[in-house]
Amino acid sequence: MNHSAYTSVLGLSCGVIVLCAVVVLWRRSLRAIVRALAVQGMALALVALTLGLHGHDDGLVVVAVLVLVAKGAVVPTLITRIVRHDVASRETQPLVNVPASLVAAGVLIFLAFAASRSITALASSASGRLIPYGMAAMLIGFFALATRRKAVSQIVGLLLVDNGIALVAFLATAGVPLIVELGASLDVLLIVVVLQVLATQMRLRLGSVDLDQLAELHD
Amino acid sequence: MTSGGLLTCGALLGLAAALVGAALPRRKRVLVTAALVIATCVVESVAAIGVLATGHPAQWHSSQLLPMTGATLALTPLGAMFVVLVALVAVPATLYWIGYARHGMSARLTASSYALFVAALLTVPAAASVATFMFLWEIMALTSLALVLTDQSRRAAARSAGVWYGVITHIGAAFILAAFLILAAHSGGQSFAALESHARALAPGARAAVFLLALVGFGSKAGVVPFHVWLPKAHPEAPSPVSALMSGAMVALGVYGIVLFGDVLLGGGPVWWWLIVLALGAVSALFGSLHAANSTDLKRLLAYSTTDNMGLALLALGASGLFVATGHHRLGALSLVAALFILMSHAMFKGALFLAAGSVQVATGRRDLDELGGLLRRMPQTGALFLIGAASICALPPFNGFVGEWLLFQSLLHGVKLGSTPGDIAIPVAVAALALTAGLTIVAFVKAAGVGFLGRPRSPGAEAAIEVPRSMRAGTGLLGAMCVVAGVAPMAILPAAERAVRATLPDVGSTPLAHGVQLQLVGVRAVLAPTVLAASLVVAVLLVAFLRQALTRRRDVRVAEAWGCGRELVTARMQYTATSFAEPVQRVFDDVLRPVRDIDVSHVAESRYVLESMSYRSRVDDRIESALYTPVITTVRRWGQFARRLQPGSVHRYLAYGLVALVITLAVVAVLG
Amino acid sequence: MLWVILLVPVVCAAPSGLVSWRRATGWAGVASASIVLVAGIVLAVHVVHGPAAVGYGGVLRADALSSFMVIVIGVIALLATLQGVRYLEAEIAAGRCTPRHASLYAVLIQGFLASMLLAVLAANLGVMWVAIEATTIVTTFLVGHRNTRGSLEASWKYIVICSVGIALAFLGTVLVYLASLHASGHGSGALNWTSLVAQSHYLSPGVVRLAFALIVLGFGTKVGLAPMHSWLPDAHSQAPAPVSALMSGVLLTVAFYAILRFKVIADGALGPQFARTLLVIVSLLSLVVAASLLLGQRDYKRMLAYHSVEHMGLIALGAAAGSTLAIAAVLLHILGHGIAKGVLFLASGEILLVEGTSEIKDVRSLLNRRPVLGGIFAFGLVALLGFPPFSLFVSELNMLRAEFRVGLGWAAGLSLVCMAVIFGAVMSHGREMLFGPKGSDAPALTPALVAVPLIGGLVACAFIGVSVWPLGSLLHAAAHVVAL
Amino acid sequence: MSTTWRALGEIVVAAVQVIVTGVGGLVLVGLMRKVRARVEGRVGAPILQPLRDVRKLMRKERLRPQFATWIFPLAPVVFVATVSVAAVMAPLVTSRPALGSGADLFVIVYLLLLGSTILALAGLDAGTAFGGMGSSRAVTIGALAEPALLVTILALSISAHSSNFPSIIRATFVDPGVIISPARLFALAALLIVIVAESGRLPVDNPVTHLELTMIHEAMILEYTGPDLALVTLGEAMRLALLLGVFVNLILPWGIASSMSVPALALGVVVLSAKVVAVAVVLGFVEVFLAKVRLFRLPELLAGAFVLALLGVVSGVVAK
């Protein structure tokens, strides 16, 4: 593909990734949140694919496919399993209400751009300039983790963080060595599985997967 | 065998004693351990005496011990002085232990910590590098802590005393460590030699910091006000041989530390350092003696009087520093000799007193003077020894305490008109403090001896008291004998002290003391003839006694009932108690002591003019403890309760910590670019 | 040669994996731990003076530091697996856990060991990261093994917090990779530690600064450094004693090993000051947190956990000083703390077993009622509080020495203050638990299976604190690998 | 040969000083009583009455309280012994007393302290209320008098650069101006108060009271009768004489024998007695107009003495 298309596709998909992150903060319905996550995963795959095609890097193409499968399909389905069992499947009372969260998201995005100046300066390619998007997605994910009560939305937050970092990895270095990349995504998959198992057990024990009940252990 | 070799072989003996103490079955344990401990003391003091005789320090180094630093021992004459001091207390205390052991001091852990404790006490003065010193120092702290806790299963007081002692000791050690490390950081190496050679080049501020840190650290070990609070808690709770060692020897090592830093490592300092030391000494002496005069618990009284005596030692030390700082080296040396002698004699009489007190506790099961009395008849030898100890601590001629105070007084006396204004102001005050301390000490110990041992028993326990086993009397007796010998013939000790001082202080010049039969200060007109004094006292007593016998017609002595103001049958409860004895002093120093008195009167039902019963209680609390320590403890506790909110159990909160940290990091990095 | 070490746990896990748990399989675990220990010693002897051993096509690499860490892992694993036998038998006897479940435990423990070994033997920082991440997943199940509500909660917190942290570490790693790519221009071996160190001077400071900050924060989570320490008390108090021992004794320090590796690169690119400042901040933060939360502590396993936070803080401060002496002291501290903390956690597990409570106020006069167990616990505390002859005394002393030497005296002073507060707190908690009136019943005995290894551990801890042999040269060599 | 003579001489001198203090002390007590009586308009007992009392008491039988220990009989002996040794050392009749080289003021003070301490112990020995009360008060006063006393000594020794008593005396011969130096005067004023306190005279203690509750010294020795009481009385008297002797020799040393010749000694005895008698008369006269102050007012008195002594030291330092 030609260069302008390449850059626009990259930019577009990065934008989508951040947008999905914001959506996670925005929507209350857990299903919607999971859907957003799935979309983000696909966008991430798209980024990897574009980079791979543009850089004629077959390894990266493989990774793209892998990401598509893992983050676009498998992970969301795993999570929806939990949601399906969950009765009140809405993030009704986030610790920070939605408008405030969106403002925070804005601030975090700004911070991401400010903080990654040194990186963009170093990787001055078309892809390099997009790195802040990855950082932003990561920060927003972290924010979701810290403010959302439902187990599901916390898992999603974790995955947002992960996608963000993966995006940075792709953009900055066109993929860290394959073995590491594989290890990383495998780990993510495993973590989701573990969390899903734990969430199921939680539901069996506590009836719901509301994380506020996890305050037995304290000083 | 070289003295360095002796040193190490002594230490090895100590270790062996500890192992034996842990290994042997109960029957043999104490005897064998005690034997080994005494052997350790003997070997170490032989090494020390060798050093004192030749003046050459005993060296020993091993690069195979203590990772990253290696272990270094070097016994200087000063250190040797303290090794001898420790041995002087340790040998009798260990003898005493043999008899005392059956009263709950024969457990494996106790026996081996006792052995280790003595070994540590003996080797600390020989330590010649930061790591070695701190290692031995902490071993000493740890073992003594274990020993203070010996009675933890029986007495709650022992438990809390343990905590107090442990915490204060640990904080003190931290101060000492900091002082050492500032020096070490400057000098690169960590051996005392390196520290000493570089310390002079250190900035005055840093030197002062080092000195003050060391002063606090070692002061807390020496039980100097305001770090004394652990003594009256720990000394009474520890088993008596241990109290004797802690109060006689360990506390003295605190003063050793101050000398080590002030005179050896830092090589002297400006006048104001020593004025602080002087002030600390004066305050401690007064505070200690005042509280000693007002305590009724025998061992608590002794503990406070330890603070008092350490105060005197610091007084002498401060004066010495003052004189050296103003260029009067010989006087400085004289005061330092005085300090050493005071420590030496304190070790002797305080040891004797604590051991005697322990015997009383064993015989009567009581420590409260208001429950004792009439023990001199029931325990004649222990009683006599306590009287000797009391006379020595009251600095009455011809006992050792007197010589110490004379030396101190002389050095102060000749220190006036040195032309340094602070000195001229400080020294009269110091003399006054010394004098008042002496007076209050007499109150305290007339009370202790008179109420405890004379008169009539105030409790069935005291009624049933019998003399303690031989080994205990032997241990106490040894120390009592030392008190007399050191008082009658101080020339036996002073040359050694003097050599130590001359090896410690720079350009002392000629000897500050000439000693034959009489003690003569060189350069000033001051002579003390202790032997002659003692002799003439004895002669006079014999003469007067003879005259009394000769002049009286009837030789027989009729036993009569005491005068009860016309009342028949005077009961033991009518005697003056320790509380009532101290009452006048208590009143005089009301504002300082703030005693807590409560009187409750209950009337008979019929008329409120007829008393049914009336009870009077009076308690003197340590105001420094309540003013300085209690607030700190409560604030820390409150903070601890408050801080628990940091960990409320919510995973969101925990993640928020992380998020905040991350945001801050990113912001900082963004700023740094 | 190196991959053999990695293979050992896998092989020893096989029996437990195949058959349901019985004592024999437990001993297999012990065997694996001891083989690892021996292998570590052999490795150390091999590399202490010679060059680093490289294996498996350059993926694995063992220098003195790695071999030292292998030894640490081996020692604590040995203690933990021995106690593990006791733990599982007790659980099965109490019907809290089926043999099947038990063998899962055994397998996971071996997996845990394998991943830690991989982490310390990896030549490639990416691989090291993967290994450390793997430990998280494995240990989550181990933390939750007792399958109570508490353990469930603990493992949830553990995995969520640690995954975030480790993700940040991954970001840091990626950035380092980016920097190295731009420094060398080609991708080959760009995450290889040796080459990174070699070219560290040419790495872009801006990127490395961000990267190292993320790495300290990220791996710091696993180390248990404030502010991401909060998972630690929960996980350590809920996990089975042997697991707590392994986590607190080794896992934390393995994560710190990662920070040490990256620190060399950061120092090369930025000079020592940046890393030093960062580490001083986190260490002081951790010390303050530990001190504050130890004061009002009510659960003795949590107490030990916060004690780990403190010691990690001390280690971080030592690493901040960074001189050879400091690092040597840090490494000795890692080993000493590992042993002492391991012993204490195992002892506390035994206390929990016999007393049935982990509340401090419910455990009384242990020294009188259970002399051996109480004695072990008491001496463990003494060791942990840094008294001689235990090795923590020497290591703390020399860390402090080094800190004063490089001008971190003020920080060292603060750490001394915190240590004093902690001493007071632990002393009074220990008093509650250990001392008290004798019970009427005769002192209870402690099984040799428990007592002997723990006492052995304490003796070892004391020995390495007094004698330079056998660790002296190894410590020196290992320190040289990462010292300034 | 000469050494033996010298030794004999020393012994003679010592004996003279002890006898002078002993006999003189008792006479002194009688004298002061007489003065008091005369001033109050009574005839009063003959001056030698105390001597007679002692002789009489000596003949009586010895009593020991039921529960007393060996401390009780020992105390009076030591009491007298300490005072006599002090009397031997102090330059009263001659400026070159036996053991003079060791005659430190500090030593003399502590000798007296030994005596009073053992008496205080004896007070507790009988196990009665009064004994304890007496010794408690006695040691308290002693403790409070101590600082004033030692600082006084300090002040006195500054000019002579020594606390050795004979050399202080000799120093005053060398430079009589010292006597009227403020240092010396302040010190002497302090010393006088301390002497009054130490020897249990008014206004500190009333030696002739017969109400136990107001007693200090008398309560302490309440259990003594016969020879023991005689010794105690003698000891007190010697103490008074000694202290006054010290005092007068510090004001006006002249007349003190500076050689060991018999006439010199005789002169010394006469002059000393004259000086002491003078002071005693004044004291006895003053006492009439004084009332015993409350026990808990004593600190004020002794604090005053302490301040005076401190002034003495300060002005002594400034003088140089």
Q: How close is the nearest chain B Cα to the Cα of A38, in Å?
A: 24
**What one-letter code names the amino acid at D148?**
A
Q: Tell whether B610 is covered by a domain.
A: no
Residue B651: its chain C contacts at CB < 8 A? Answer: 156-157, 160-161
D77 contact B CB<8A: yes
Residue B649: its chain C contacts at CB < 8 A? Answer: 234
- Give the range with max mean pLDDT: A177-186, B363-372, D288-297: B363-372
- Give the range with max mean pLDDT: A192-206, B166-180, D151-165: B166-180
Burial of A189 by CB count in 10 Å (0-12 exposed, 13-18 middle, 19+ buried)? middle
Please state, in angstroms and rounded to a whole number, the distance separating the CA atoms of residues D251 and D276.
Answer: 11
Above 90 in pLDDT, residue B321?
yes
Q: How close is the nearest chain D Cα to the Cα of B506, in Å?
A: 25
* Interchain contact C/A (3 or more Cβ pairs less than 8 Å): yes
Hey, CA dihedral for B1, B6, B10, B16, is it positive or negative?
negative
Please state, in angstroms and rounded to a whole number, the distance separating the CA atoms of residues B34 and B13.
Answer: 11
Of chain B, the percentage scoring pLDDT greater than 70 comes to 98
Average per-residue pLDDT in chain D? 89
pLDDT of residue B425: 81
Tell me which residue of B505, B506, B530 sits closest to B517, measured CA to CA.
Answer: B530
Query: What Cα–Cα distance (Å) separates residue B136 from each residue in B71, B106, B120, C401?
Result: 10, 24, 6, 17
Q: Do B652 and A211 touch (CB under 8 A)?
A: yes
- Domain membership of residue B642 as a residue range: 623-672
Q: How close is the nearest chain B Cα to the Cα of C415, in Å?
A: 10
Query: What Cα–Cα distance (Å) separates residue B271 from each residue in B179, B324, B532, C160, C484?
Result: 20, 9, 38, 62, 43
Note the Cα D282 to chain centre separation in Å. 16
CA of C166: which chain B residue's CA is closest? B658
pLDDT of residue B437: 95
Q: Tell whether B558 is covered by a domain.
A: no
For chain C, give every domain's residue range: 1-123, 150-269, 271-484
Tell me which residue of B178, B198, B179 sits closest to B189, measured CA to CA.
Answer: B198
Tell me which residue of C26, C69, C54 sits closest to C331, measured CA to CA.
Answer: C69
Q: Taking residues B300-315, what's their average pLDDT?
A: 97
Q: What is the pLDDT of residues B485-505, one digit of tens each?
A: 999 999 888 989 999 999 998
Please state, in angstroms and rounded to a whole number, the distance separating the CA atoms of residues C328 and C391.
Answer: 12
B450 vs D135, D160, D227: nearest CB: D135
| Exposure class string for A4-31: b at 16+ Cβ within 10 A, else e | eebbebbbebbebbbbbbbbbbbbeebe
Domain boundary among B534, B563, B598: B534
* Residue that wins the pLDDT comparison between C461 and A54: C461
Task: Measure the N-to-C terminal CA separation of chain C; round to a whole number of Å.
Answer: 30
Taking only residues 52 to 111 of chain A, the set having a beta carbon closer than 8 angstroms to any beta carbon of chain B reads: 95, 108, 111
Above 90 in pLDDT, residue D171?
no
Contact (CB, 8 A) for B104 and B150: yes
Tell me which residue of C349, C338, C356 sits closest to C447, measured CA to CA.
Answer: C349
Contact (CB, 8 A) for B274 and B332: no
Above 90 in pLDDT, residue B210?
yes
Above 90 in pLDDT, residue C344?
yes
Tell me which residue of C339, C220, C192 sits closest to C285, measured CA to CA.
Answer: C220
Above 60 in pLDDT, residue D1?
no
Q: Do A149 and B652 touch (CB under 8 A)?
A: yes
Above 60 in pLDDT, residue B1?
no
Three-state DSSP at B565 gives coil
Helices and strands, counts by H and E, chain A: 9, 0
Residues B484 and B351 in one domain: yes
pLDDT of residue C482: 93
Average per-residue pLDDT in chain C? 93
Please state, in angstroms and rounded to a whole number, the distance separating the CA atoms of residues A90 and B55.
Answer: 87
Q: How close is the nearest chain C Cα to the Cα of A206, in Å?
A: 9
Tell me which residue of C127, C211, C134, C169 sits closest to A178, measured CA to CA.
Answer: C127
Please state, in angstroms and rounded to a whole number, the distance separating the CA atoms of residues B311 and C262.
Answer: 55
Contact (CB, 8 A) for B582 and B450: no
Instruction: List residues bridging with C359 in a β-sheet.
Output: C299
Q: Do C468 and B641 touch (CB under 8 A)?
A: no
Domain boundary among B512, B534, B556: B534
- Interface partners of chain D (CB pairs < 8 Å, 3 or more) are B
Above 80 in pLDDT, residue B27?
yes
Burial of C417 by CB count in 10 Å (0-12 exposed, 13-18 middle, 19+ buried)? middle
Residues B11 and B132 in one domain: yes
| Exposure class string for C218-250: b at 16+ Cβ within 10 A, else e | bbbbbbbbbbbbbbbbbbbbbbbbbbbbbbbbb
Q: Do C405 and B185 touch (CB under 8 A)?
A: yes
C-alpha torsion angle, residues B291, B294, B296, B302 (rounded to 10): 30
Q: Predicted confidence band at A174 (pLDDT cuts at 50, 70, 90)?
A: low
Q: Which two tokens stand for residue C211?
A: 């990267």
* Residue that wins the pLDDT comparison between A61 and B482: B482
pLDDT of residue C232: 94
Q: How close is the nearest chain A Cα to the Cα of C463, in Å?
A: 36
Q: Do A123 and C133 touch (CB under 8 A)?
A: no
**Contacts with C459 (C-beta within 8 Å, 6 or more apart), sequence order:** none
CA of C327: which chain B residue's CA is closest? B68
Q: Tell whether B608 is covered by a domain.
A: no
Q: Predicted confidence band at D308 (pLDDT cuts at 50, 70, 90)?
A: very high
Domain boundary among B534, B569, B588: B534
Above 90 in pLDDT, residue A212?
no
Which H or E run includes C450? helix C448-466
pLDDT of residue B48: 95
A122 vs C157, C164, C207: nearest CB: C207
pLDDT of residue B382: 96
* Interchain contact D/B (3 or more Cβ pairs less than 8 Å): yes
Taking only residues 53 to 112 of chain C, the set having a beta carbon closer than 8 angstroms to any beta carbon of chain B reads: none
pLDDT of residue D162: 87
Question: How many domains are contained in chain B?
Answer: 2
Q: Do B658 and C165 touch (CB under 8 A)?
A: yes
C148 contact A CB<8A: no
pLDDT of residue A88: 61
> Comparing B41-50, B195-204, B457-466, C16-25, which segment has the lowest mean pLDDT?
C16-25
* Interchain contact B/A (3 or more Cβ pairs less than 8 Å): yes
Instruction: List residues bridging with B617 in a β-sheet.
Output: B598
Q: What is the pLDDT of residues B515-542, one digit of tens each?
A: 766 777 776 778 888 999 999 999 999 9
pLDDT of residue C393: 97
Cβ-based contacts under 8 A for chains B and D? 267
* Interchain contact D/C (3 or more Cβ pairs less than 8 Å): no
Please state, in angstroms and rounded to a whole number, the distance separating the CA atoms of residues B416 and D183.
Answer: 14
pLDDT of residue B609: 81
Of chain C, the percentage scoring pLDDT greater than 70 comes to 99
Q: Tell whether B545 is covered by a domain.
A: no
B529 vs D77, D99, D314: nearest CB: D99
Residues belonging to chain D: 320
Give the position of tokens 């039980």: B223
Q: Predicted confidence band at A122 (pLDDT cuts at 50, 70, 90)?
A: confident
Residues B648 and B525 in one domain: no
Q: Tell whether B300 is covered by a domain.
A: yes
